[in-house]
């Protein structure tokens, strides 16, 4: 792979105009400044698109807790190691990479309300999309565990 920092340095270096090409060769790969800028732009847009696709449907912690308190099935999509630091009470831990193999552990009724969460909301967003593709009608992306936990802690301290 082309060393991105070296290419970036060369593209920013004084004396290289927009119309001139700076070539960097490493392991038989050459790239001019414009191609490198295009590559960076495509990579950036791809990253933003992936982020928006998986994170635009995160619900507010208040709404997630309301659903949980009303009896929603809670799914922790983090790894076993991540969830060892704490989980939402009653949550079933199934890492997002194991959802398909462990579907039998999830309620079979397609109208079950499911709140999925992970560390930030990306993996739970993927799980939400997957479960919806299987016909589950009420899957909510609860976002990240830290946000859920801190909301609940703040709510508890306000009631005291």
> Which parts of the chain register pLDDT below 50?
1-27, 158, 160
113-118 and 92-93 beta bridge pairing: unpaired
* pLDDT digits 0-9 by tens, 103-137: 999 999 999 999 999 999 999 999 999 999 999 99
C-alpha distances (whole Å) from 53 to each of 8, 13, 122, 133, 145 are: 28, 36, 9, 15, 20
As a CATH number, domain 61-159 is: 3.40.250.10
Residue 37 has a pLDDT of 78
User: Which residue shows structure tokens 């912690």?
Assistant: 61
Check residue 156 and give its pLDDT.
56
Residue 20: what pLDDT? 42
The distance from CA 22 to its chain's CA centroid, rounded to whole angstroms, is: 36
pLDDT of residue 43: 75
In the chain, domain spans: 4-54, 61-159
pLDDT of residue 24: 44
Which residues have C-beta within 8 Å of that of residue 39, sequence separation ≥ 6? 31
Residue whose pair of structure tokens reads 């807790």 in the numeric block: 65
Q: What is the dihedral of CA 126, 141, 117, 152, to 10 degrees?
A: 170
* pLDDT at position 152: 80
Question: Judging by beta carbons within 10 Å of its beta carbon (0-12, 13-18, 19+), is residue 121 exposed, middle or buried?
Answer: buried
Residue 105, both tokens: 């552990």
């Amino acid at each position: 792979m082309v060393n991105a920092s070296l290419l970036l340095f060369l593209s920013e270096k004084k004396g290289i105009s927009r119309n001139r090409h700076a070539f960097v060769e490493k392991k038989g790969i050459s790239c001019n400044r414009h191609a490198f800028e295009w590559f960076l732009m495509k990579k950036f847009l791809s990253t933003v698109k992936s982020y928006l696709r998986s994170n635009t449907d995160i619900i507010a912690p208040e709404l997630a807790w309301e659903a949980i308190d009303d009896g929603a099935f809670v799914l922790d999509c983090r790894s076993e190691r991540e969830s060892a630091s704490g989980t939402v009470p009653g949550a079933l831990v199934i890492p997002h990479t194991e959802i398909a193999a462990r579907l039998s552990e999830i309620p079979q009724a397609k109208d079950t309300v499911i709140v999925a969460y992970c560390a930030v909301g990306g993996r739970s967003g993927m799980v939400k999309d997957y479960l919806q593709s299987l016909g589950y009608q009420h899957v909510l992306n609860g976002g990240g565990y830290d946000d859920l936990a801190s909301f609940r802690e703040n709510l508890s301290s306000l009631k005291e």
